[in-house]
Structure 1
Amino acid sequence: MDILIILTPNFNIAATMGFIDPFRAANYLDGDAIFHWHFASLDGGPVPASNGASMLTDPLADHDRKFDLVLVSSSWTPERQFNAAMFSALRRHAHRGSVMGGLDTGAFLLAKAGLLKDAKATVHYEHIDAMIELFPDTEVTEDLFVFDGKRISCCGGGAAVDFALHILRQACDDRLANMAARYVFQQNLRPEGAQQNPGMIEPLGRAAPALVRDAIKLMEQHLEDPLTISDISDQLGVSPRRLDRHFEKSIGKGPATYYRDIRLDRARGLVTQTDMPLATVAVAAGFNSQAHFSKSYKSRFGLAPRDDRVQGRIPFEYRAWPMHRKVGRHDTP
């Protein structure tokens, strides 16, 4: 199996290496080079990763031939890679019949190249809202990874290992996939359809009470047209006071503050990942007043939306502002 991995500046190197390692393990364990991979970028040379490391690549033009899989590994600011040469290369590979994949935000480039029309895809959850707004003809999901015929995608992070093991399993068999999974210490292979944020159990094993989970679900369903805390309490059959106590105990902030914060988090994705007018972003996050939106945004993220549109497109390690400022429990939503 011949794999071409196209890197863009500020790609996630951990996800990219996580994707490759099961194939390396399979080659070693099988005693044969079943899988071959090549790293390329538009111009070749070293490509910086989001953590400050870099990786040497070949010019993309040097690999203008048929591959079984072409995977775009992108993370921060995928829109900066929107250019004719990249799209032309991606379309050529697709025309040759290659499976086209995206890792982390790689699906943005595939969609912009016109390769995800009426297809299903996923990206890192931080970029989901932007993907939905920019590409309405793509079915965007919050799955860890998606296999939709010759169009596949993965949200990145540790899910890249699961993603690769499913590809390995399809290309070879369960025996080799199991051996490779054991070799890289992937003890449980997450299935297709597994969610990025399943919501039931926290990674360290603690779970929020059912009441809090149900309240959060209602909040997430009403980001653009927010409910009052009294409305949420009524729907759940509890008093606002009881709901507040449960939120404070399990999350460390009241429901009003939590609700405001997730609306602002949605807004930040749209501010930093799209060129939507800020007034439109405010409405999408449930704020009727632009001034109130800007003030709340600056309180949470440390800078105004207009400034974050520039700063937020810089990888976090190089940013001058913290991603989230600490706020008090009594801040008004």
Structure 2
Amino acid sequence: MSHRFNILLFDGFSNHCLANMVEPLRAANTLSRQSLYEWRFCSVDGESVQSSSGLAVTPDVALTDQRGDVLVVMPSYGFLQLGKPKTLRALLAAAKRHAQVAGLDTGSWLMARAGLLDGHQATIHWDELSRFEEAFPAVDVVQERYVVDGARLTCSGAMAAFDLALALVRKDHGPLLSMEVAHLFMSRGRSDHYALPMQTEDTLVNRALAIMQANLETPLSITQVARKAGCTQKRLETRVQADLKTTPQALYRRLRLNLARRLTEETEQSIAEIASRSGYENASAMTRAFKAEFGQTPSAFRNRV
């Protein structure tokens, strides 16, 4: 079942902030080949809004009666003038129809003005921290990139919105997909289809990831990967499980199949050649693994694309 986001935009919203929230969700859908997330753009009255850089957006719907998993509040510039009774009433009513409410950038201020952050830990754009803390003593204000406190989510700006989106993907669908989404946005479109190294927060796992990605066409055994990473196979298995909730074997297979998927989508190479470049001895073995991972054969995937 999809997680539904209703994104409440106000005049002066940040394009950067909006993209950094929505694009990771879109990427999670793309990488998983499932509709894990869906979103609608809203305004309080359904009327068109304009971003800080002049991009006009006609919302899908008015906020009235919209329900979902996450209501994202995105005012950005001009937020001090938005706390009018009509807007606050609409925000309070909408909060009751959503499991969580997220304030991006200065959205925290509007949430706090509506009383939605009382008793919660929250952050805001760091230029506003002192004023925010003084204005709302019932809020536990902290200087963090983003804060998840139960049903209340807040972040400090556009770049932090990306971090928050990744955190939501990680919570909903695990650390491996979250890492792959982050990796997708690090890609530089290299012509050889071998992307920049994936990274996680564990140094040892990063070493193993780099070794695996350098040896996709001729895979190593996990014992060899561990030896090159400077540890035992048992230690590597423990650290990968703790950090990515999977095994080194499954992680290595996922990396090889992700390469196969990119080659299938972006090149006209034969399935046999793709299998060879992905470390499979024959096309049949790669096709079986590809279907088990992505739910369809490489040929069917290519035709669909």
The TM-score bracket by the shorter chain reads 0.5 to 0.7
Letter aligned with residue 167 of structure 2: H
Counterparts in 2 of 1:37-56, with a 5 A limit? 37-56=39-58
Change (3 A) 1:189 1:37: farther
Q: Retained in 2: the 8 A contact 1:42–1:86? A: yes
Q: Give the letter for the 2:156 counterpart.
A: C
Query: Deviation string for 1:185-234 (max 9, x for gaps)?
Result: 286678xxxxxxxxxxxxxxxxxxxxxxxxxxxxxxxxxxxxxxxxxxxx
Change (3 A) 1:7 1:117: same
Superposed CA deviations along residues 101-124 of structure 1, whole A, max 9, x for unmatched, are 100000111111111111111111
What code does the residue aligned with 1:116 have? L
3-state SS of the aligned residue for 1:40? strand
Report how many aligned residue pairs link the two structures.
190
Q: CA deviation at 1:96?
A: 3.3
Distance of 1:53 and 1:189 partners within structure 2: 35
Structure 1 window deviating more from structure 2 (164-173 vs 85-94): it is 85-94
Q: Deviation string for 1:169-196 (max 9, x for gaps)? A: 1111112111211112286678xxxxxx
| C-alpha spacing 1:45/1:134, structure 2 compared with 1 (3 Å) | same
Which residue pairs with 1:7 in the alignment?
A: 9
Letter in 1 for 2:110: L
Match of 1:23 in 2: 25
Normalising to structure 2: TM-score of the pair? 0.58
Q: Which amino acid aligns with 2:14?
A: N
Q: 1:67·1:93 contact (CA, 8 Å) conserved in 2? A: no
Contact 1:21 1:184 in 2 (8 A): no
Q: Percent identity?
A: 31
- Aligned equivalent of 1:93: 94
Other-structure match for 1:131: 132
Gaps of 5+ in 2: 188-197, 202-305
Q: What secondary structure is seen at the aligned counterpart in 1 of 2:158?
A: coil
Where do residues 1-333 of structure 1 align in structure 2 (5 Å cutoff)?
Answer: 1-62=3-64, 64-185=65-186
Bigger shift: 46-55 or 154-163?
46-55
Distance 1:177 1:87 in 2: 34
Aligned residues of 2:6 and 2:66 also touching (Cα < 8 A): no
The one-letter amino acid paired with 1:54 is A
1:184, 1:4 → 2: CA distance?
A: 23
1:148 partner letter: D
Which amino acid counterpart does residue 178 of structure 1 have in structure 2? M
Amino acid of the residue matched to residue 48 of structure 1? Q
Summarize deviations over 1:115-173 as a string: whole Å, max 9, x none: 11111111111111221121111111110000101011011121211110001111111
If asked which structure has higher relative contact order (CA below 8 Å, sep 6+), I would say: 1
Partners of 2:200 and 2:146 in 1: CA distance: 12
Please report the TM-score for the alignment, with normalisation by the length of structure 1: 0.54
In 1: Cα distance, 2:50 partner to 2:122 partner? 25
Q: 1:97 to 1:70 in 2, by over 3 A?
A: closer
CA distance in 2, matches of 1:77, 1:45: 17
**Distance between the aligned counterparts of 1:23 and 1:88, measured in 2?**
29
Give the distance between the partners of 1:4 and 1:132, measured in 2 at CA: 27
Q: Secondary structure at the match of 2:101?
A: strand
* Residue equivalent to 2:239: none
Residues 107 and 122 of structure 1 are in contact (CA less than 8 Å); yes or no, is this contact kept in structure 2? yes
